[in-house]
Structure formats: structure tokens, C-alpha cells
Structure 1
């Protein structure tokens, strides 16, 4: 493994962890507080803006670094091996996480633009719950991929 491969793998894991962590944080900390009326629309809007930045950066960096890793290690066996299937599963989960993150954040933004908090948090909750499940599934997939076969 070259130094560049190590850097790419490190960036991939770092951005994936921060993105997944921010999804789970929004789900278990921010949304319940918003649904209970503890947060006003301005703090929720700021948290949502930061979340969107993290999610978009995570999506872009993991796409690029994951593409590099797949191209240098799995392309010839992508459709014919267990490890290749794990990589394909990761791509599907990545797409789901990106979509769910964007939809959930959009639901929050739509409400905070109208100075609302409780309803947007309730509307966004199913998307963030699903995104949290997908984020965990991504790490399980990554663990299986990292395991010696």
C-alpha cells in the first residue's frame, strides 16, 4: 500500500465518520430538542446549515476517495466476489445516505424559513431515523470489507 493509498483511506474514513456522526447527532440530540420546543428557529437553522455542509462534504469526499479505492483494488472483481458485492452495497448505502440527509435537511430548512421548529422537526424525523440506520449499515459493511476473507 502506497502513502497515497493510506491518505485516501484515512480521508475516506474520517469524512465517513464525521458525516455518519452528524446524522446520528441530528437524530438523537437536535431533532428531539426541536420537537420539544427547546430550540428556536434560528439555532435550528444554523445547526441545519452546518449539517448540510458536513453531509455534502462527506458525500463528495467519500465518493471521490471510495471511487479511488474501488478503482485500485476491486474493479476486476466488483461483480464476481464477496468483497466486490460489499463495495457495491456500500455505493447503494452511500446513495441512500446522501438522499436521506438532503431530504431531512430540506424538511428542516423549509420550516425554519417560516420560523417554525416543532413541525419541521417532526417532518424531518423519519428521514433522519432512516439515515441513521443507513449510516450504521455503512459501518457494518465497512467492517465486513475490512475483515480478512
Structure 2
């Protein structure tokens, strides 16, 4: 009987370890997805600034642009996070490749989609967005709550 309990316990430990290894591998796979494997970005430039009250510590800024190469920066003073270089580029490409806005969308629709994409609260004080498409079309969207 003890041998059966020990065997069952050992099998349980092995299965738990295998499940944890699978979970870690899948998490690592998402984090390690090369930037080149992400869908193409439909924008040539994307500049976002959202203020939640007065002061620098209440601001979220995100920038992305293609010129000679791709450059991105995220300055999230809400969460005290500043990303530059490959880290910012990877995050921006992940977000922007899934962002669904068009040149003809209403401002309210654009603002809602952008806030959702960046996981930002809709209780902002000021919203500023400038998007440029590869064909040179420019969209400026501003809002105040």
C-alpha cells in the first residue's frame, strides 16, 4: 500500500513538473516572439499622449515611426515604466499590429480602440493622437473628458 502511495505521489510530481515546464515554454514563446514574426504595422507614424490630470506623473506617451528603420518609445508615467529600443519596438509592434482603426473612423471610435489597445482607462483628461499611414494620409485625433 505504501509503495502504491509513493508511486502515485511520484507520478503526480512528475506530471506537475511537466505542466509547469509546458506553461513556462509557452510564456517564453510569446515573450521571445521575434519582432519580424509580428504582423505588419499599418502605420508609418503613431504618436499618442494621454493625460490623466496635471503633472508629468499622470501621462502615458507612445511613439512609433518607420523611416530608415523602425523606432519606438513608450513613456508610461502612470506605471513608472520607460521603454526604448527593441523592447519598446516589440511592444508597440504587438499592439499596433492588432489595432484596428481606419482613416474614416469617428474620433470616439478611434479613441476607444486606442485606449483598449494600450489598456488605458477612459477617464482621461486629455487625449492626443497623430497617425500617419504609408500613403502619407494623416489623422489627428484629440479629446477631453
| Range into which the TM-score falls when normalised by the shorter chain | under 0.3
Structure 1 length as normaliser, TM-score?
A: 0.24
More strand by share: 2
More helix by share: 1
